């Protein structure tokens, strides 16, 4: 059993393995009182006035107390983060990391701006950890890229992956969890999907281009697909033609 878990862990792609490890270590550390959540949560005042910039990162690593909800989110983190990195972003590790950085930036910006809007500031003030929202963003992006996959929810009913975020949002509301957390993840996920895939097809422009310094960090090997003889292929899609 231990060997099987070790093999499963080692086979994870680098970004998924790193994020999952950091999330588990941080959450376990807080549960054992080794780390204080008060040193991790997102606090704009402390970030700006006391230069505690680590809070911009650590609030994405803590998943609250270790309970069923924690296991639920670890499953989604391990599954959909891995699926994205191994499939949609196969051979494009830097692009995948950039997607996560983009999502984290959008989520942080929404919370900071929302905290300054009357009638909404009280709701946004309660959102001090964005780890669940970032996980939900990955679920949303995966569902948009794989909309026709058939899925089952607890064996109760089946649906296609395009509706997965909405099913999970409904489940969160049903169990009394905050819908804001999931909605923020959907907003960030839709922003990325639109700018990375929809907008380029509409305008032949790519507003989201992975910075060269991120690409320099990862020596991604090109993905080679065997080409059968006497088979004609359509022209390469826009993303491949304009790939740096």
Of 142, 129, 128, the residue nearest 77 (C-alpha): 142
> Tens place of pLDDT for every residue, the chain, 244 residues?
677 778 888 888 999 999 999 999 999 999 898 999 999 999 988 998 999 999 999 999 998 776 677 787 788 888 889 999 999 898 899 999 999 999 999 999 999 888 788 877 787 788 899 999 999 999 999 999 999 999 887 777 888 999 999 988 888 888 777 788 889 999 999 999 999 999 999 988 889 999 888 888 887 555 544 444 554 544 444 444 444 4
Q: How far apart are CA 72 and CA 172, in angstroms?
A: 11
Do the Cβ atoms of 131 and 60 come closer than 8 Å? yes
Beta-bridged to residue 151, according to DSSP, are 159
CA atoms lying within 13 Å on the CB side of residue 78: 16
Write down the pTM of the prediction.
Answer: 0.83
Beta-bridged to residue 72, according to DSSP, are none
Per-residue pLDDT at 124: 79
Of 139, 122, 129, the residue nearest 108 (C-alpha): 129
Domains along the chain with CATH numbers:
1-218 (1.20.1540.10)
Q: How far apart are CA 109 and CA 105, in angstroms?
A: 6
Q: How far apart are CA 186 and CA 184, in angstroms?
A: 5
Q: How far apart are CA 96 and CA 99, in angstroms?
A: 5
Per-residue pLDDT at 1: 66
For tokens 């999330």, what's the residue?
A: 23
Q: How far apart are CA 13 and CA 16, in angstroms?
A: 6
Of 234, 239, 162, 156, the residue nearest 201 (C-alpha): 239
For residue 129, give Cα distances in angstroms to 58, 74, 161: 8, 15, 27
């Amino acid at each position: 059993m231990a060997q099987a878990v070790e093999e499963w862990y080692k086979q994870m792609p680098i970004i998924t393995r790193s994020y999952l490890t950091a999330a588990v270590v941080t959450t376990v550390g807080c549960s054992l009182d080794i780390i204080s959540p008060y040193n991790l949560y997102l606090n704009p005042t402390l970030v700006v006035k006391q230069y505690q910039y680590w809070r911009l990162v650590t609030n994405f690593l803590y998943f609250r107390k270790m309970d069923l909800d924690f296991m639920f989110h670890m499953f989604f983190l391990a599954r959909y983060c891995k699926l994205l990195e191994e499939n949609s972003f196969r051979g494009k590790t830097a692009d995948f990391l950039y997607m996560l950085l983009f999502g984290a930036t959008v989520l942080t910006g929404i919370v900071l701006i929302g905290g300054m809007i009357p009638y909404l500031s009280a709701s946004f003030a309660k959102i001090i950890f964005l780890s669940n929202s970032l996980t939900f963003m990955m679920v949303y992006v995966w569902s948009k890229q794989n909309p026709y996959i058939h899925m089952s929810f607890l064996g109760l009913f089946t649906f296609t992956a395009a509706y997965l975020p909405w099913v999970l949002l409904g489940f969160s509301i049903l169990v009394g969890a905050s819908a804001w957390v999931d909605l923020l993840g959907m907003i960030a996920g839709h922003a990325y999907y639109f700018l990375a895939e929809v907008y380029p097809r509409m305008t032949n422009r790519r507003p989201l281009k992975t910075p060269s310094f991120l690409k320099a960090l990862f020596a991604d090997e090109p993905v080679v697909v065997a080409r059968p003889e006497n088979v004609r292929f359509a022209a390469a899609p826009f993303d491949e033609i304009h790939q740096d």
